[in-house]
Amino acid sequence: MNYKSVFIIVLLTVLFIRCSNNNTDEIVNLGAAKKVVQNYYESSKYERDCKEIIDKAIDHINGLTLPEKPTVIFDIDETSLANYQHIKKIDFGYYYDIWLEWLKQSDAVAIPQTKRFYDFLLTKNINVVFISGRNDDSYQATLKNLVDQGYTKFDTVIVRNKNERNLSASEFKLDKRKELTQKGFNIIANIGDQMSDFYGGYSGYVIKLPNYIYLID
Ligand SMILES: [Mg+2]
């Protein structure tokens, strides 16, 4: 073996070790990650981030000349209502039956900054439509929860029926926004916590709230 071959082997070994170490560095311990997320939600950081986003949204809407039938789309979970207390109680896990049981209790609480935005829209006579990835098995509980938390005036609350359960969240929500647009609703803004709340357009001004708990495609 000549020097050149030895050099190449040493170089490849160093690169391999570096790559391995980098991969290891990227993995975060789950217990530690939960603590970081918990701190974000339970300190003032989450509230502060939401306030900044809503302040900008209100400025934007105030600057608009409103069209006929102006409408804002609201997502529900982690946008209008917070499920944090339940998700923390089950140690940041997810299992559909337990989730459904929670939804049926109608105990989620309003996210204060979203509620502030909602109240502002009502003063401008802007329509509110809720589009949620929730299934129709929790429709009545969802209505009760929204009303109990002060979301008392809205055009409609749209959830998935049995035929829509296999659609991705983004497909389902886009279909509903298209239908609303065809019916004459002018969507001027859309507020959600997942990028799948906005994919495909028909959204107007996008208001993306933070969610460090889960991701939905
Ligand atoms: Mg959501």
pLDDT exceeds 50 at position 16: no
Span from the CA of 101 to the centroid of ligand 1 (angstroms): 18
Q: For 147-206, what is each residue's pLDDT tens digit?
A: 999 999 999 999 999 999 999 999 999 999 999 999 999 999 999 999 999 999 999 999
Span from the CA of 125 to the centroid of ligand 1 (angstroms): 24
Q: For 67-78, what is each residue's pLDDT tens digit?
A: 999 999 999 999
Please report the sign of the dihedral spanned by the C-alpha atoms of residue 139, residue 100, residue 53, residue 150: positive
* pLDDT value for 23: 57
Residues 59 and 161 in one domain: yes
Rounded to whole angstroms, how far apart are CA atoms 160 and 76? 13
| Residue 118 C-alpha from the chain's centroid | 16
Nearest to 195 by CA among 172, 217, 166: 217
Span from the CA of 135 to the centroid of ligand 1 (angstroms): 13
Residues 84 and 18 in one domain: no
Span from the CA of 16 to the centroid of ligand 1 (angstroms): 41
Span from the CA of 78 to the centroid of ligand 1 (angstroms): 5
Identify the bridge partners of residue 128 per DSSP, sorted by sequence position: 72
On whether residue 140 sits in a domain, the answer given is: yes
Span from the CA of 192 to the centroid of ligand 1 (angstroms): 6
Count structural domains, the chain.
Answer: 2
The reported pTM is 0.87
* pLDDT value for 217: 84
Residues 200 and 175 in one domain: yes
* pLDDT value for 10: 37
* pLDDT value for 190: 98
Span from the CA of 14 to the centroid of ligand 1 (angstroms): 45
Q: For 124-140, what is each residue's pLDDT tens digit?
A: 999 999 999 999 999 99
Which whole number is the average pLDDT over 12-16?
Answer: 39
Residues 107 and 29 in one domain: no
Span from the CA of 80 to the centroid of ligand 1 (angstroms): 8
Instruction: Of 2-6, 88-92, 212-216, give the lowest mean pLDDT range.
Output: 2-6
On whether residue 115 sits in a domain, the answer given is: yes
* pLDDT value for 1: 38
Residues 60 and 33 in one domain: no
Q: Which domain holds residue 36?
A: 1-43
Which whole number is the average pLDDT over 95-102?
Answer: 94
Identify the bridge partners of residue 82 per DSSP, sorted by sequence position: 109
Span from the CA of 19 to the centroid of ligand 1 (angstroms): 36
Residue 30 CB-half CA count within 13 A: 3
On whether residue 91 sits in a domain, the answer given is: yes
* pLDDT value for 24: 58
On whether residue 13 sits in a domain, the answer given is: yes
Helix, strand or coil for residue 73? strand
Q: Token digits for 172?
A: 């389902």
Greater pLDDT, 19 or 210? 210
Q: Token digits for 41?
A: 């939600």
Span from the CA of 215 to the centroid of ligand 1 (angstroms): 9
On whether residue 216 sits in a domain, the answer given is: no
On whether residue 134 sits in a domain, the answer given is: yes
* pLDDT value for 26: 84
Q: For 20-64, what is each residue's pLDDT tens digit?
A: 445 557 898 999 999 999 999 999 999 999 999 999 999 999 999
pLDDT exceeds 50 at position 215: yes
On whether residue 180 sits in a domain, the answer given is: yes
